[in-house]
């Protein structure tokens, strides 16, 4: 690892604050909200080093820092490695899925209801794929369009392009024996658009195997969304 333990803590806090605030994170903000035990000058130096190493970038000379794809990737890998609070009330969610399963036996309607619930819980776009029917289900446009990034029309058009690219290539993801994968920005192999994150996972619908996914800004609630997808997959395995 090319960063120190202190820099790791600063980076993780900076990413989390940017996710919460949707604005560049300054050293003054981190000083107020973090307990790093260093002087403001040292904190500024550490943030500059994280910028020099490619984990953060500074949109303007006088602005705070924003995570890069590399910074988000470090943050996500850290979550996955430590498995910090990745559970998403699994028992409660299993009860929800069980209720859906009892009321709906048709795979299409079940996947549609589940996809809609994922979108409601994440405020992102949720997608499901049923390979036997060759059907892609998408829910959550209303939820995700409330996110501040989508006030920019160009950003909205880029997101629509990303969703379209993913839909066109989802059969390839399924054939590649995809179990669980997170694509951040430029990591996405199905699109040239670099502003978004996609969380994919195989799952077992009542009558067939399929895929569930969450698509949204790179500034998404990773901890919550990864935990939710994990809970969905584990809950579906019980049927």
Query: What are the tens digits of pLDDT across the range 60-100?
Result: 777 789 999 999 999 999 888 876 555 555 566 677 777 77
Q: 115 near 138, Cβ under 8 Å?
A: yes
pLDDT confidence of residue 107:
81
Query: What are the tens digits of pLDDT across the range 118-137?
Result: 999 899 999 999 999 999 99
pLDDT confidence of residue 82:
75
Please indicate whether residue 49 or residue 231 has the higher confidence score (pLDDT). Answer: 49
CATH architecture observed for domain 90-236: 2-Layer Sandwich (3.30)
5-82 CATH fold: Arc Repressor Mutant, subunit A (1.10.10)
Query: What are the tens digits of pLDDT across the range 182-210?
Result: 999 999 888 888 899 999 999 988 888 99
Report how far residue 202's alpha carbon sits from residue 205's, in angstroms, rounded to the nearest whole number: 10
Nearest in space to 75 (alpha carbons), one of 48, 47, 56:
56
CATH 3.30.450.40 in the chain, residue ranges: 90-236
Q: 89 near 23, Cβ under 8 Å?
A: no
CATH 1.10.10.10 in the chain, residue ranges: 5-82
DSSP-assigned letter for residue 15: H
pTM for the model: 0.90
């Amino acid at each position: 690892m090319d960063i120190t333990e202190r820099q790791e803590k600063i980076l993780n806090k900076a990413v989390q604050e940017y996710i919460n605030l949707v604005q560049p994170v300054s050293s003054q903000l981190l000083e107020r909200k973090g307990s790093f035990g260093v002087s403001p000058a040292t904190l500024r130096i550490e943030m500059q080093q994280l910028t020099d190493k490619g984990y953060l970038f500074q949109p303007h000379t006088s602005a705070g820092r924003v995570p890069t794809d590399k910074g988000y990737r470090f943050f996500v890998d850290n979550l996955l490695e430590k498995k910090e609070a990745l559970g998403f009330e699994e028992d409660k969610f299993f009860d929800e899925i069980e209720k859906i399963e009892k009321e709906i036996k048709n795979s299409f309607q079940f996947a549609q209801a589940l996809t809609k619930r994922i979108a409601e819980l994440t405020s992102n776009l949720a997608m499901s794929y049923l390979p036997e029917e060759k059907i892609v289900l998408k829910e959550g446009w209303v939820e995700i369009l409330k996110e501040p990034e989508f006030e920019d029309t160009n950003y909205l058009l880029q997101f629509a392009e990303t969703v379209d690219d993913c839909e066109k290539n989802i059969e390839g993801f399924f054939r590649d024996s995809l179990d669980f994968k997170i694509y951040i920005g430029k990591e996405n192999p199905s699109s040239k658009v670099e502003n978004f994150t996609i969380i994919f996972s195989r799952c077992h619908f009542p009558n067939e195997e399929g895929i569930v996914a969450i698509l949204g800004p790179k500034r998404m609630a990773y901890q919550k969304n990864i935990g939710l997808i994990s809970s969905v997959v584990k809950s579906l395995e019980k049927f």
